[in-house]
Structure 1
Amino acid sequence: MVDRARRVVLVARIRALERVPERISDEKGRIYRALRVTLGTKNRTYGTNSLLTTNSTETVYALWNTTVGSDSSLASNGTGIGKYYSGEGPGNAFDRNTNTKYTNSGACNNTASGSPTCGQNTGVYLTLQRGASMLVAFRLATANSYPQRDPLMITIEGSNSNSTELTRGSSWTLLYNGSSGISTTQTRLTCGSTQWLPTNSTWYASYRFLVNLAMNNGVSMPTIQYSE
């Protein structure tokens, strides 16, 4: 395990290497492996080397009506309350492809008008096949349309409980509560800024990600959506 002092040094080296493109691939890859860190994704739009948390065979569970510390309510495929769009499921948020997206209606009935709170308190949870990992940073990417549906404020929780306990709120520990890193003028299909978790030093096998506020500024909308 990388101790806290060494983790700070390695993160500083990653930042410095952002200014040396020809060295990024090998050196940053080695540092990321040492940290086992999640730092966004890699795709044609923003081309940043990073280490992904997920494998293609992992199950990503969609959530709605779920807040920090509360029990998880599972969303299902379809239209209406507690649903995510067909073809726009939770796995799309981890597929390294900004041309796909995850779209969740939350507590709304998927009408065109929607409401200011549609899609809030939705998200995902998953268990990493690669084993417990220490999350030190993340980035989100916008979807192809409707900036008002972008996540604005999010939470991230970690758990080392077994799979049968992961729907219980008591199994999760809050790691992050703050900005999504997506700006109000964010271009479509691009990443927001990297958000760091400077106080987290624990490795978790499972993570829960929730959106508690959208970018809509009180304007009605039917869903919340993001591509990565």
Structure 2
Amino acid sequence: MQQDIKQTLKTMYENLSKYGIDQPLMPISLLTLSGYFATRKNKLLKLFGTSAALAEAGIYLRTSLKGKYDIWQDILEHENLNFSGKALDLGCGRGAVLNELAKKMYHPDSVIGIDIFDPKYQSGNNFRNAQQNVIDNKIADKVTIKSGDITELAFDDESFDIITASFVLHNLSEEKQKQALLEACRVLSHAGKLIIVDLTRNINLYQQILMQHDINNLHIREVGADGWWSGPWISSSILIANK
């Protein structure tokens, strides 16, 4: 048990140094709230308020720094994907999914990561950090990183056999989400797979959009505690669509 905790903390630290924290203002706010409760005179409020805020911050950090990585490792290990083809990671950020995907691909120049690298998303994503992580993972021969808008992909139709999107689409407006999904479907090859991991509250909308455009071979599943962003009230799900 103690060894498992040490390994979890080690993994979280390594991922923090490479890829940062998703929306870091959220755990900061929760930790600040715990400090507020700790100063209250009411003993019950002090005890339960502080404990709840700290627990939510801890759950959030575990999901951001370990849980989401475990989700993607499970997908890449067990989903039947065409690793001999071409892959595209939408909203690649610093490359957390991009790099693990590239390690599975068989051929050089087989993976593209695209991101607008907008600082408003708080996570410290930028082109330089993404490129450095590719180099550090020794996969530079397989990966190309591009700065671009996922709602306007500059790729030919049916260019990719695997398309991934990890906690990116929920940052967009509903109209932009639709545009991004339609673009993903356009560049997805026949028999290719689109894999989206995102907040459960958004996944049903993605399903509706895809089905409205004749992408009917899809399935959804929740991922449990690995995808809790502070607790089960903000859960995550996987959507896998086959063209």
The TM-score normalised by the length of structure 1 is 0.28
The TM-score normalised by the length of structure 2 is 0.27
Larger radius of gyration: 2
Question: Where is the helix percentage greater, Structure 1 or Structure 2?
Answer: 2
Structure with the bigger RCO (C-alpha within 8 Å, sep 6+) is: 1
